Structures are given as structure tokens and as C-alpha cells.
């Protein structure tokens, strides 16, 4: 990118528009009240080496080693996470260097149940998704599977009623987690909480035993008024 104009054209090509004054518009509602929530830099390392992820959320800087498989584009990139006051929507602009070119990618929402289910990565995610949809309390366009925020991939991001809720369907029970998995989950949950998210985690056993009860807790976090 040689200059700001090239950056703006790249954003436009990716589906992020600006007004005549260069102010970014929300790609979902077209509103002006957009804010960046986090900036994440991925360094994929060498040919056989693990890389590094650095995430800046407000005044907090978190760095951690990360394997190449964790990177969105499997290469060096910068991910800028935004949110909108009007919708409220949350989206990511990913800027990737690849073979001498700069690519601009925007995480987009999906609006049909088939589209949403197609991106689920496990049967327990599908079971939880269907239970949430069956409540009728959360619209489909508020549910975003495999949503990326601040360098983290969320099983489900639910953006509704002015709230941001991360819902995780863990494939293992809590007592089966390794120390490394537990430490990563705690760091991840803290980063999301600092960025204004509520985090709900359900084990596979909880979902298989009573997906409806899990969905009711999600509805309570997203829809119900806080007592």
C-alpha cells in the first residue's frame, strides 16, 4: 500500500465503504457511528517455526505464540475489529500480504439457517444452533458462526438487543481440558470481556443432555432484561 488512497480503494473493493469525508460506514446498516475495538497482528514465523500473535484492545497489549494453523489466512496479516453503535454490528477487516499483493477481506454475516449450519464445525455446534433458533427469540441475522474478533475465532457471535455475546460449544468437558487449553481459554475470555463481550461456554455433555436448556441461557443473556 503506497498511500491512504490505495488503502481506501482496497477497503471499498472488500465491501467497506466510506462517505465523501472518508468516514467508514457500517457495512451492515450504512451508519456513521463505527469504532475500532481491537487490532491484531499475526506473524506466521519461518518455514517450520511457530509465529506470534499480538492483540491491542484499548490500552491492553496481549502477545502469545501461535501455530501457523491458527492464522486466518495462514500468512502474515493485520485484523482490525470494528463495531457499530447503530446496529449494533461487529465485523473484521483483514489485511493480508500474499505473494507481493495486499488483500482486503471482510468477515460477512449469513442470513439463512442452511448457510449458518454449513459453517458449523461439529455436531454439537449444529445441535446448539438449532436449539437457539427454535426458541424464536433471536433472529437469524443476529447469529454469526465462526466469527473472528480480535484474532479469536468464536463458535457463535450473537449481536442483538444492543448486546454482544460469544457462545462456545466446547468439544471436551471442563475436567478434560489440558492446562494449556484452560490457560488459553481464560486469556481468550478475558480479552473478549475487556472488549465488551459476554462469554457463555457449554460442554458437549451439557448440549447433548439438554440443548434447550443451554439455548434458554443464551436467550437470557441476549434478550432478557437484566434484573
CATH number at residue 186: 3.40.960.10
Highest mean pLDDT among 158-172, 182-196, 200-214: 200-214
State which residues form the domain around 117: 113-222
CA geometry: angle 107, 152, 206, nearest 5 deg = 105
What are the pLDDT digits (tens) for 110-131?
A: 456 776 777 788 899 999 999 9
| Greater model confidence, 93 or 3 | 93
pLDDT over 90, % of the chain: 19
Domain presence at residue 140: yes
Note whether 126 and 194 are same-domain residues.
Answer: yes
Q: Which three cell numbers stand for residue 45?
A: 514465523
Helix, strand counts (H, E) of the chain: 5, 10
Query: Residue 73 — very low, low, confident or very high, per pLDDT cuts 50/70/90?
Result: very low
pLDDT at 219 over 90: yes
Domain presence at residue 213: yes
| Greater model confidence, 109 or 91 | 91
Domain presence at residue 9: yes
Q: What's the average model confidence in pLDDT over 62-90?
A: 66
Domain presence at residue 227: no
Query: Residue 226 — very low, low, confident or very high, per pLDDT cuts 50/70/90?
Result: very low
Domain end (from 48, 75, 106): 106
Q: What's the average model confidence in pLDDT over 82-111?
A: 67
Note whether 216 and 161 are same-domain residues.
Answer: yes
Note whether 30 and 66 are same-domain residues.
Answer: yes
Query: Residue 70 — very low, low, confident or very high, per pLDDT cuts 50/70/90?
Result: low
Note whether 87 and 18 are same-domain residues.
Answer: yes
- pLDDT for the residue numbered 210: 95
Is pTM beyond 0.85? Reply is no
How many domains, the chain?
2
Note whether 192 and 217 are same-domain residues.
Answer: yes
Domain presence at residue 139: yes
- pLDDT for the residue numbered 207: 93
Rounded to whole angstroms, the Cα distance separating 167 from 189 reads: 11
Nearest to 45 by CA among 16, 70, 79, 24: 70
Q: What's the average model confidence in pLDDT over 4-8?
A: 47
Query: Residue 68 — very low, low, confident or very high, per pLDDT cuts 50/70/90?
Result: low
pLDDT over 70, % of the chain: 69
Note whether 9 and 38 are same-domain residues.
Answer: yes
**Residues whose CB is less than 8 angstroms from the CB of residue 225 and which lie 6 or more positions away in sequence, other chains included:** none
Amino acid at each position: 500500500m503506497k498511500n491512504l488512497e490505495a488503502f481506501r480503494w482496497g477497503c471499498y473493493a472488500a465491501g467497506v465503504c466510506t462517505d465523501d469525508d472518508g468516514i467508514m460506514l457500517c457495512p451492515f446498516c450504512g451508519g456513521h457511528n463505527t469504532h475500532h475495538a481491537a487490532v491484531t497482528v499475526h506473524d506466521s514465523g519461518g518455514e517450520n517455526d511457530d509465529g506470534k500473535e499480538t492483540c491491542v484492545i484499548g490500552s491492553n497489549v496481549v502477545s502469545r505464540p501461535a501455530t501457523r494453523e491458527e492464522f486466518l489466512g495462514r500468512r502474515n496479516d493485520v485484523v482490525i475489529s470494528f463495531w457499530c453503535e447503530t446496529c449494533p454490528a461487529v465485523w473484521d477487516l483483514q489485511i493480508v500480504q500474499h505473494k507481493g499483493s495486499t488483500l482486503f477481506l471482510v468477515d460477512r454475516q449469513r442470513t439463512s439457517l442452511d448457510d449458518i449450519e454449513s459453517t458449523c464445525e461439529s455436531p454439537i455446534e449444529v445441535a446448539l444452533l438449532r436449539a437457539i433458533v427454535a426458541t424464536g427469540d433471536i433472529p437469524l441475522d443476529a447469529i454469526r458462526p465462526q466469527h473472528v474478533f480480535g484474532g479469536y475465532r468464536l463458535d457463535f457471535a450473537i449481536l442483538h438487543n444492543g448486546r454482544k455475546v460469544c457462545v462456545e460449544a466446547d468439544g471436551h468437558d471442563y475436567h478434560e481440558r489440558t492446562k494449556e487449553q484452560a490457560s488459553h481459554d481464560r486469556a481468550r475470555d478475558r480479552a473478549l470481556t475487556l472488549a465488551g463481550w459476554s462469554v457463555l461456554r457449554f460442554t458437549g455433555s451439557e448440549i447433548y443432555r439438554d440443548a434447550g436448556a443451554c439455548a434458554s441461557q443464551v436467550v437470557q443473556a441476549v434478550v432478557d432484561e437484566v434484573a
